[in-house]
């Protein structure tokens, strides 16, 4: 029994039998292009009947797919602006209260 020696020596794992289970690496390049499809196009998503596509880093509604009311959009933007202003005011109040406590 060694006093300072290493008594733990794990067995080496056997090498893998197959590097890849996919047979795509054995195919010709033209067949791979057909199988994998190099022309992806733009990603599109359909949410609640509205179709969106990803262009220049932003999701854009496809033309003709958005049937929302213009007045509804203005109302939502106004409400969003009000909530942002209220949020800023509340943050300011919290900062003032924290300064008063410390």
Q: What angle do CA 13, 16, 19 make, to 5 degrees?
A: 150
pLDDT on residue 4: 67
3-state SS assignment for residue 91: helix
Mean pLDDT, range 18-30, rounded to an integer: 67
Assess whether 74 and 86 both reside in one domain: yes
7 inside domain:
no
Domain housing 96:
65-101
- In a domain, residue 17? The reply is no
Is 83 contained in some domain?
Answer: yes
For residues 69 and 89, membership in a common domain is answered with yes
Please check whether residues 47 and 74 belong to one and the same domain.
Answer: no
- Is residue 46 assigned to a domain? yes
Instruction: State the Cα–Cα distance between residues 32 and 44, nearest whole angstrom.
Output: 24
> Which residue would you say has higher pLDDT here, 13 or 9?
13
What are phi and psi for residue 35, nearest 5 degrees?
A: -65, -45
User: pTM higher than 0.75, yes or no?
Assistant: no
The pLDDT confidence band at residue 1, using thresholds 50, 70 and 90, is low
Q: Assess whether 70 and 51 both reside in one domain.
A: no
Tens digit of each residue's pLDDT (9 = 90 or more) over 29-70: 777 777 777 666 778 888 777 788 888 888 787 765 455 667
Report how many domains make up the chain: 2
Residue 89 lies in a domain: yes
Assess if residue 19 is contained within a domain: no
Asked whether 24 and 35 are in contact (CB, 8 A), the reply is: yes
Per-residue confidence at 78, pLDDT binned at 50, 70, 90? Answer: very high
């Amino acid at each position: 029994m060694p006093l300072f020696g290493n008594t733990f020596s794990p067995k080496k794992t056997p090498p893998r039998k197959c590097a890849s289970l996919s047979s795509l690496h054995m195919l010709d390049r033209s067949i791979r292009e057909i199988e994998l499809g190099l022309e992806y196009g733009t990603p599109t998503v359909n949410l609640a009947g509205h179709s969106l596509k990803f262009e220049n880093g932003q999701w854009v509604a496809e033309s003709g797919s958005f049937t929302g009311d213009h007045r509804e959009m203005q109302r939502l933007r106004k409400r969003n602006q009000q909530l942002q202003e209220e949020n800023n005011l509340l943050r300011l109040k919290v900062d003032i209260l924290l300064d008063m406590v410390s």
